[in-house]
Amino acid sequence: MSSYRYYEIPVCYMTNGLELKLPVHEFSGGEGPVVGITASIHGDETIGVEIARRVVEALKGMEVHGKVKIMSVASPLAFEDANRNTPVDSTNMNRIFPGSYDGTITQIQARVIADKFLFDLNTYIDVHSGGQDPVVDYAYVLNDEELSRASLAKILYRPVVDYEGTSATYTNPKNISTVTIECGGGPNEPYYVEKGVKAVLNMLKLKKAIDGEAEKRDDQIMISHIEHVNPHHGGLFVPALTYDAMNTIVEGKVVLGRVYNPMTLELLEEIRAPYEKNLMILMRGNINRIIPGDFTFMIGDLDSEIR
Ligand SMILES: [Zn+2]
């Protein structure tokens, strides 16, 4: 019978005297892999916490082999602020791994995660999403393609150059099977919550941390290039597409959205699809405010498909 325990990893005391701690939900059950899962490394990715919560609930009813550790909110200060960065030092934790005990609060936090959470893993699953506005749906292929395929994401992205300083870039060369999944965001629809939970549980099956045959899907597309299509102006963003376009091919160099000046109400910019066949990986489908250069659309280049 596997066991469950909850504990918190201390990071440091904050200015106000409260202790900054990182939560760990740990399931242990004899022989098996050591799997670590992190959610909300970016504090605006609320859906990751709900995916983690549901995975913890699901695992409580299952037999776990080896060890599964779930850090349900990896950037608590950023989460409190619904911010991609830690407000105290304006730092994106996922660009500074493995951090430093002699650095700012976010650097200390990253170092603690590296030394006290990631250090003993065989498999690492990092759960991301699109933050407050955008919705996203794909999985990275890093050092374990089978693991990434088991996320059941339709679109797999094998980057030519890794992002520097991510937790995944840290574990990737350490013989730790590593995957980053990007799932949902924006309106945080139940569809993406369920998809994220299924992804994590299916990857746990693949690694034999829980019983059952891992599912496969045969329509996955693997690409090596994603184009970021972001606005050059801030303002009021009005989408031209709905979220139904996610993970579909949008044909033609059509308008994806428009940016208006909220003061003069003039049209500042039409954001257009870059290709004749645009594989929609990240998009905004809500009327919202937008800042210049913000993540707005990510379009897969089908010419970069790896067969
Ligand atoms: Zn993220």
Distance between Cα 303 and ligand 1 center (Å): 26
Distance between Cα 196 and ligand 1 center (Å): 14
110 closest CA partner among 121, 101, 120, 97: 97
Distance between Cα 272 and ligand 1 center (Å): 24
Distance between Cα 215 and ligand 1 center (Å): 25
Distance CA 79, CA 95 (A): 17
Residues 2, 29: contact at Cβ < 8 Å? yes
42 closest CA partner among 73, 13, 21: 73
Q: Residues of CATH 3.40.630.10 domain(s) within the chain?
A: 3-221
Q: Residues of CATH 2.40.50.100 domain(s) within the chain?
A: 225-304
Distance between Cα 57 and ligand 1 center (Å): 23
pLDDT of 52-101, one tens digit each?
Answer: 999 999 999 999 999 999 999 999 999 999 999 999 999 999 999 999 99
Question: What residues are paired with 144 via a beta bridge?
Answer: none
Q: In what helix (H) or strand (E) does residue 191 lie, and over which residues does it extend?
A: helix 190-206
The tokens for 256 are 């994806």
Question: What residues are paired with 34 via a beta bridge?
Answer: 67
Q: What is the CATH number of domain 3-221?
A: 3.40.630.10
Angle at 293 between CA 255 and CA 157, to 5 degrees: 75
Q: Which class for 236: exposed (0-12), middle (13-18), buried (19 or more C-beta within 10 A)?
A: middle
Q: Which class for 286: exposed (0-12), middle (13-18), buried (19 or more C-beta within 10 A)?
A: middle
Distance between Cα 71 and ligand 1 center (Å): 15
CATH code matching the domain that covers 225-304, chosen among 2.40.50.100, 3.40.50.2300, 3.30.70.1290, 3.40.1160.10: 2.40.50.100
Distance between Cα 205 and ligand 1 center (Å): 24
pLDDT of 171-228, one tens digit each?
Answer: 999 999 999 999 999 988 999 999 999 999 999 999 999 999 999 999 999 999 899 9
Distance between Cα 267 and ligand 1 center (Å): 30
Distance between Cα 264 and ligand 1 center (Å): 34
Distance between Cα 74 and ligand 1 center (Å): 11
- pLDDT, residue 161, reads 85
